[in-house]
Amino acid sequence: AQSVTQLGSHVSVSEGALVLLRCNYSSSVPPYLFWYVQYPNQGLQLLLKYTTGATLVKGINGFEAEFKKSETSFHLTKPSAHMSDAAEYFCAVSDLKQGGSYIPTFGRGTSLIVHP
C-alpha cells in the first residue's frame, strides 16, 4: 500500500523568503508524484507532477520539486514566497491500479502561511 507523509501541518514564512514543504512517500513500485494547491473554498489545482525522467520538476507559479528516490522524498520549494501563495498544499502518490487507472493517495496537507 502506498502512503504519503507531509511533515508539518502548518508552515509559516515571510514574504520573499524560501518556501519548503516536505513530503515523504512509500510505494512498492516506481511512483507518480504530485503536488496540488487548494485555495479556500476551492477544489485542488495541480502545481506539478513527476512521472519519469528528470527528477527536478518545475511547476506553475514558480514552484518546483525534486524526486529523491533514495530518500523517498518529493519536497516542494519556491525561492521567494508571495502573499498569494498562502493556501493548503497536498502531496500525492499514485501508481497503476487494477482496472487501469491511477488513483492518488493524498497526504494530510500543509497550510502555508505567508507574513508581510
Partner 1 sequence: ETGVTQSPTHLIKTRGQQVTLRCSSQSGHNTVSWYQQALGQGPQFIFQYYREEENGRGNFPPRFSGLQFPNYSSELNVNALELDDSALYLCASSRLLGDNEQFFGPGTRLTVL
Residues in the site for partner 1, rule: CB under 8 A?
Answer: 4, 9, 32, 36, 41-46, 49, 51, 90, 92, 94, 96-109
Least Å distance, CB 15 to partner 1, is: 25
Comparison of 77 and 105: residue with beta carbon closer to partner 1: 105
Comparison of 64 and 106: residue with beta carbon closer to partner 1: 106
Asked if 75 and 86 count as a contact pair (C-beta separation under 8 A), the reply is no
The answer for residues whose C-beta is within 8 angstroms of residue 61's C-beta and 6 or more apart is: 47, 78, 85
Least Å distance, CB 45 to partner 1, is: 7
Least Å distance, CB 62 to partner 1, is: 20
Asked if 51 and 110 count as a contact pair (C-beta separation under 8 A), the reply is no
d(CA 18, CA 96): 34
Comparison of 43 and 116: residue with beta carbon closer to partner 1: 43
Least Å distance, CB 88 to partner 1, is: 9
Based on its alpha-carbon atoms, the radius of gyration of the chain, rounded to whole angstroms, reads 14
Asked if 66 and 75 count as a contact pair (C-beta separation under 8 A), the reply is yes
